[in-house]
Amino acid sequence: MSEIITRRKFIVGAAAATLLAGCDTHPIKSFLGAMQHWNEKFEGFVFSPNRLAPELPASDATLESAFPSYFISDTIPTVPANWTLSVGGMVEREMVLTLDQLQKMTRTDLRVRHHCVEGWSAVASWHGVRVSEIAKLARLKPGVKYVEFNSFDEDYFSSWDLGSAMHPQTLLAYGMNGHPLGSGHGAPLRVYSAVKLGYKMCKYLTEVNFLPNKTGGYWEDQGYDWFGGV
């Protein structure tokens, strides 16, 4: 536990490095405490499936070289050979999907601001498949209430409420700014969503599991707000 907590997170990108210099503690925790209250109060309204977050024009995009890459391992995680995405849990149809299969599904593009609790934000355009599309193909069994995303770097994971995962602006993204996702940003596949803070959006995805129970998350288990709504 303490080893995990003291592990230094790495951040790449000149702008981010400047922003975070001398910022190894988590000043955001009190902010999160305040947010939790806000989330509980507005959750039902904010995550109504009909309510879309406003998307931003291309002119708002952050220069990609200035978009921070933020990951917990010491070096940039690289894509394992024969990478696939497993979809399972309480579903009628478990699936093992290749990147090629994901890229042939209905594509959704999304440009909204990314908010990291460490104090930076940035804008890019993301391209991928809605999680709701994956759920439709897998056919959820009754009783699914949560979705857990798992990653191949250091057992990073995060669990989400089903409503946020099914939101039309929650994607499994394989592209960024018109090109395939780079290793710094979660290649080959990551979660990107208009409705969650950065740490909820698992990069380097390996599994999506539809579950009846709530699990935690890499940062959530260390005190970050579980809901993590924007």
Ligand X SMILES: Nc1nc2c(c(=O)[nH]1)N[C@H]1C(S)=C(S)[C@@H](COP(=O)(O)O)O[C@H]1N2
Task: State how far the Cα of 199 lies from the Cα of 116, in Å rounded to an integer.
Answer: 7
Nearer to ligand X, 140 or 146 (CB): 146
Q: How far is the CB of 113 from Mo ion (least distance, A)?
A: 13
Residue 218 touching Mo ion (CB under 5 A): no
Task: State how far the Cα of 205 lies from the Cα of 136, in Å rounded to an integer.
Answer: 19
Query: Could you tell me which residues come within 8 angstroms of residue 73 by beta carbon, excluding any fewer than 6 positions away?
Result: 10, 153, 154
Nearer to Mo ion, 67 or 210 (CB): 67
SS3 state at 33: helix
Residue 198 touching Mo ion (CB under 5 A): yes
Question: What is the binding site for ligand X (CB under 6 A)?
Answer: 68-72, 116, 151, 153, 156, 184-186, 198-199, 201-204
Chain positions 112 to 131 lying near Mo ion, rule: CB under 5 A, are: 116
Task: State how far the Cα of 111 lies from the Cα of 186, in Å rounded to an integer.
Answer: 17
Nearer to ligand X, 140 or 208 (CB): 208
Stretch that binds Mo ion, among 26-34, 60-68, 149-157, 195-203 (CB under 5 A): 195-203
Q: How far is the CB of 210 from ligand X (least distance, A)?
A: 19
Q: How far is the CB of 156 from ligand X (least distance, A)?
A: 4
The one of Mo ion, ligand X, none whose footprint includes residue 183, by CB under 5 to 8 A per kind, is: none
Find the DSSP H helices in the chain: 2-6, 14-20, 29-46, 99-104, 131-138, 162-166
Q: Under a CB-based contact definition with an 8 Å cutoff, are residues 186 and 204 in contact?
A: yes
Interface residues with Mo ion (CB under 5 A) are 116, 198-199
